[in-house]
Amino acid sequence: VFLSQVKEEFVTKISSKLEIVQKGYFQDEVFGNSGSIPPKVGEKTTYTIIWQVKNYYSDVKNLKVKALLPWGVELTSKIFPEETASKFAFDSQSREIVWLVGDLARGKGVLEAGPNIAFQIGFTPGSSQRGQIPEIIGQAAITGEDSWTEMVIEATAPAINTALPDDQTVTDEMGVVQ
């Protein structure tokens, strides 16, 4: 900006945009799930959860994805790709899953392939869930530090229930616990 003989320069830094995509499937080509659809009280059904990370505008450091597993849901030992298993953890006390993605260059997941992980969970409904469409994984949240603005940025993806909105082979009625 120029005013008379005075010159002032302003810099406005804009943080990147993060996105976490969370999808759930019964029919998949990754693990081959088992169990009953619709889920039945006292019987375990396995599902595949996929997380995809997208980073739009600037490099981001220390990316982390977190979600809570409701009671009655457990992690199986299946993770893909297997080399991501060392950066994937579950705290049985807090019921929180954490994926340490690390640093991510701008455009990853948007302009070119970005990090993703698939993991299998098992859900055994209790009798109090009969007639309901319960959550099998809570809201996923991603956080990281924008390298340009040095601010913490975050985004969320909605929870997934047994109706599996991303799985075209499952209808809402098929998500109701029997």
Length of the chain: 178
pTM (predicted TM-score): 0.91
Low-confidence ranges of the chain (pLDDT < 70): 1-3, 10-12
Burial class (CB in 10 A: 0-12, 13-18, 19+), 169: exposed
Amino acid type, 89? A
**For residue range 89-132, what is the model confidence (pLDDT) as tens digits?**
999 899 999 999 999 999 999 989 999 999 999 999 999 999 99
pLDDT of residue 2: 62
CB 110 within 8 A of CB 154: no
